[in-house]
Structure 1
Amino acid sequence: MYFLLAISTVLAQTPTTPVWPNSWTVPFVEDTYSIIGVNQVSGTWYYDYTLGASRMDRSNGRYDMFCGKNDWFGFFDTPCTHLVNNGIRYLYYPQLQICCNCCSQADGCGVIMPTWLQNATYVGSQMYNGTIPSYVWLMMGNSPNIYQETQDPTPLNRKPLELNNGLADRFMLPGVWNTTFSNTVFNVPTYCNSKYMCDTSSFCGQVRGSGGKSEFLKYLKG
């Protein structure tokens, strides 16, 4: 009887799995890990699932798996943006006005689904950075992925705090989650051409060749 009561108590305390709003923007700080250590960049993330669009601006794309492993861009510092629009993931370097087609929705390079964490396992609660009560979730991939969010019974009322992709990178989301912004941020720059593909030896080329089933893209729509 006590055992059944304990299980019921645990189940009653398990929150509903995370769900993202259909539209939002948030600033982020990202740590990426490599043989030369930890590299940190700042940026802004825009997302609109209804439009099938997303955009991620990084202050420096050198250490990003996609932006840096594309031609010579891993050898110097320059901003880089991922932009998903009309089923195509573009990489563009705004200071240089260089742009290429990384991969398509058919490759798995579309927009991540708001329910991508629906199969996550609830780990428990803790104080994030010692100050914010958070829910902690585990999403298994090639390595454990840990997602933390603020606490609320209703998933859409929660805010993301951190996404730690194991040995790859760590997104920290210390800013305000804003659900109102102009969709002009998803406009494709005039210097982009969907026919100009990112380098075939780049990570984009590998994703196109493998059907987009990488650790980074497997939860994406498409």
Structure 2
Amino acid sequence: MISSLALLLLQGASTLPQPHWPSTFVADYVSDDKHTTGYYASDTSPGVGASRITFEDGSGDHLCSYYHTKTPCEQLTTGGFRYLYFPNLPDCCKCCTYATGSYLCGGPVGPRWMSNATGNLIYEGKEVILGRACHKWGIQGIFPTHMNYYFQDVETGLPCGLDGYNYLRTPDEPADDQYLFKVGSVNLTVPHSTFDVPQLCKAARYCGGKVCAAGPDVRQFV
């Protein structure tokens, strides 16, 4: 027989808000940690699997800043590759692949990361993000002593933003992957053209260096 205390605990757990990451959406963001703005687009529906993050200035991003600073940058993840695209220079290179090779990078973030299959998702209450109340979850990532966070609008259930631990070259140079979505900017319809690979990137070299791969089987990351 279930005790009264256990029953109350079960009832309490069932009433906790549930996180939801849309399979397709685009939103304008601001990032205090990266000191820039841009848009975050994702489509992980069957047959697509792509994301695009633009930075008005990529100087505060771990990947972009290794190659160029004080210029716009885009991270385009599609077709098995993550491209770094600098439209104003212009320049483009393949940072890594999530399809083949030994140096695999993460593909587009989809709803599965909110499934809590490994028990690493913790509800932490509410927080105000850009003037609206949002639910907050902590997610244990690859850095055991640093949590990542997801925020979801209390009223609409749409994403408010995310904040993933990161830094530029060393931990003394914090540069979290923080994207706080502007109120009213989240759209669940994303044109397929959003994820088109620029012509310059189609035959692009591998980026190389210490933050990206020099080839599908060459890992230089430190």
- 1:3 deviates by 2.5
Matches within 5 A, 1:40-189: 40-50=35-45, 51-70=48-67, 73=68, 76-106=69-99, 107-119=104-116, 120-129=120-129, 132-141=132-141, 142=143, 143-151=146-154, 158-166=157-165, 168-169=175-176, 170-175=178-183, 176-189=185-198
- 1:85 deviates by 2.1
Alpha carbons 1:19, 1:115 under 8 Å: kept: no
Give TM-score, length-normalised by structure 1: 0.77
- Residue 35 (structure 1) aligns with: none
1:141-192 alpha-carbon deviations (Å, 9 max, x no partner): 211112111236xxxx611113222454122112421022321121111112
Give TM-score, length-normalised by structure 2: 0.77
What letter matches 1:135 in structure 2?
Answer: H
Q: 1:112 to 1:158 in 2, by over 3 A?
A: same
Q: Report the secondary structure of 1:10's partner residue.
A: helix
Q: 1:129 to 1:44 in 2, by over 3 A?
A: closer
* Aligned-partner Cα distance in 1 for 2:8–2:214: 48
Q: 1:91 to 1:131 in 2, by over 3 A?
A: closer
Q: 1:111 to 1:85 in 2, by over 3 A?
A: same
Moved over 4 A (4+): 206-212
Alpha carbons 2:42, 2:52 under 8 Å: kept: yes
How many residues in Structure 1 have an aligned counterpart in Structure 2? 197
- Residue 15 (structure 1) aligns with: 17
* Aligned-partner Cα distance in 1 for 2:131–2:111: 27
Deviates more, 1:141-150 or 1:123-132: 123-132
Alpha carbons 1:125, 1:133 under 8 Å: kept: no
* Aligned-partner Cα distance in 1 for 2:137–2:220: 27
Higher RCO, 1 vs 2 (CA within 8 Å, ≥6 residues apart): 1
Q: Report the secondary structure of 1:128's partner residue.
A: strand
* Aligned-partner Cα distance in 2 for 1:124–1:146: 9
Is there any run of 5+ residues in structure 1 with no aligned partner, and where? 33-38, 215-222
Identity rate of aligned residues, in percent?
26
**Root-mean-square deviation (CA), in Å?**
2.7
What letter matches 1:201 in structure 2?
Answer: G
